[in-house]
């Protein structure tokens, strides 16, 4: 069955006490309308005259200006979805079928923000800055003449409700997903999340039209959009941290299986991700030692985000093309 959730179903915290916005069955497809990470604040700044916009984008931006969200500050997330049959200990398998951006987006920096170099660059005179992007080409966005950025849209935030009582902030990613900012979660990817509460309570948002690994200024190309997912329940799957397959990583394989680690210590986050990869290799019949040396030969560790305090996100990419049939 196909479902749709509009922007009427927004929340800004993780909380397993939130009432579900929609109940779906395993195997159902749902399209989520999503709001940009600023909650429409950038569009409101254009409408107020605080921020200037290119003339050919101005009307499109003004059409997206909306009243501020009520409630705690956080990423505007669409959901939660209650998935029938999902129980603690299960995994929610999420196929990312389509990611569509709005006609425009923005990227910003400021000297007192969350970016990797904010404090250092403030001493060099860094000022608050917002760049507006024209996304209408669909495949790329021109930064300025001679500089073109390819688009690869993905949800910056996708997760299920944690067992710990809420409300909890959306900024740090967790072992149940959330603000992971993993740019490889494009259409064609499949994500597994560990379920901790009945129904899983899946929410998503914070679409990015493009982003570099690390999201170093604290923002990608932030945008409104639509996210289409198909959800499945995998009973007692043994998943303890988000894992995914993806058609893109930057290497030579056609597909990768990636695991993630989220922790305030970067090395610990990397170890969590790597240990989960070794479990995957052991499940294929390798000894622990063989899994470890094979991973050293071909697994890529990537810092997916380094700005969502207090947790870093490290992803470990296993190239699936190394496994040949026959």
**Least confident residue range of 16-20, 51-55, 112-116, 315-319:** 112-116
**Least confident residue range of 17-26, 58-67, 122-131, 225-234:** 122-131
For residue 324, being part of any structural domain is answered with no
For residue 33, being part of any structural domain is answered with yes
Instruction: Output the pTM of the full model.
Output: 0.87
* Rounded Cα distance, 190 and 126, in Å: 39
Higher-pLDDT residue of 126 and 275 is 275
3-state secondary structure 220-286: CCECCEEEEEEEEEECCCCCCCCEEEECCCCCCCCCEEEEEEEECCHHHHHHHHHHHHHHHHHHCCC
CB atoms within 10 A of CB 311: 23
For residue 325, being part of any structural domain is answered with no
Mean pLDDT of the chain: 91
Higher-pLDDT residue of 186 and 216 is 186
pLDDT, one tens digit per residue, over 233-247 is: 999 999 999 999 998
At residue 325, the pLDDT reads 55
* Rounded Cα distance, 201 and 222, in Å: 24
* Rounded Cα distance, 35 and 226, in Å: 9
Q: What percent of the chain has pLDDT over 90?
A: 66
Supply the range of the domain harboring residue 204: 2-319
* Mean pLDDT, range 157-167, rounded to an integer: 96
Contact between 81 and 202 (Cβ < 8 Å): yes
| Residues in contact with 290: Cβ distance below 8 Å, sequence separation at least 6, in sequence order | 281
Residues making up the chain, counted from first to last: 326
At residue 326, the pLDDT reads 40
For residue 326, being part of any structural domain is answered with no
For residue 200, being part of any structural domain is answered with yes
* Rounded Cα distance, 209 and 183, in Å: 9
The CATH number of whichever domain residue 103 belongs to comes to 2.60.120.580
For residue 174, being part of any structural domain is answered with yes
**Does the pLDDT at position 90 exceed 90?**
yes
pLDDT, one tens digit per residue, over 175-209 is: 999 999 998 999 999 999 999 999 999 999 999 99
Contact between 193 and 92 (Cβ < 8 Å): yes
At residue 214, the pLDDT reads 81
Residue (of 1, 190, 170, 164) closest to 83 by Cα position: 1
For residue 96, being part of any structural domain is answered with yes
For residue 16, being part of any structural domain is answered with yes
Domain count, the chain: 1
């Amino acid at each position: 069955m196909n479902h749709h959730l509009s922007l009427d179903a927004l929340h800004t915290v993780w909380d397993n006490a939130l009432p579900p916005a929609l109940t779906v069955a395993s195997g159902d497809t749902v399209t989520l309308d999503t709001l940009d990470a600023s909650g429409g604040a950038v569009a409101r700044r254009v409408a107020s005259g605080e921020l200037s916009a290119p003339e050919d984008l101005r009307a499109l931006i003004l059409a997206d200006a909306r009243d501020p969200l009520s409630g705690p500050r956080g990423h505007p997330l669409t959901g939660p979805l209650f998935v029938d049959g999902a129980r603690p200990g299960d995994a929610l398998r999420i196929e990312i079928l389509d990611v569509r951006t709005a006609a425009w987006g923005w990227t910003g920096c400021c000297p007192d923000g969350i970016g990797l170099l904010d404090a250092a660059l403030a001493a060099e005179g860094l000022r608050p800055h917002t760049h507006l992007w024209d996304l209408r080409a669909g495949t790329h966005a021109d930064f300025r003449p001679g500089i073109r950025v390819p688009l690869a849209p993905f949800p910056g935030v996708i997760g299920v409700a944690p067992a710990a009582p809420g409300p909890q902030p959306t900024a740090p990613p967790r072992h149940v997903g959330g603000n992971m900012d993993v740019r490889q979660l494009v259409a064609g990817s499949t994500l597994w999340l560990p379920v901790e509460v009945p129904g899983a309570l899946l929410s998503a948002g914070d679409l990015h039209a493009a982003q570099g690994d690390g999201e170093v200024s604290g923002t990608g190309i932030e945008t409104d959009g639509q996210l289409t997912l198909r959800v499945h329940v995998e009973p007692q799957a043994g998943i303890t941290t988000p894992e995914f397959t993806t058609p893109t990583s930057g290497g030579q394989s056609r597909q990768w299986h990636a695991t993630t680690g989220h922790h305030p210590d970067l090395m610990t986050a990397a170890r969590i991700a790597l240990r989960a990869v070794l479990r995957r290799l052991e499940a294929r019949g390798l000894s622990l030692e063989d899994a470890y040396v094979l991973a050293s030969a071909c697994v890529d560790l990537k810092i997916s985000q380094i700005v969502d305090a207090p947790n870093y996100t490290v992803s470990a990419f296993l190239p699936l093309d190394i496994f040949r049939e026959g």
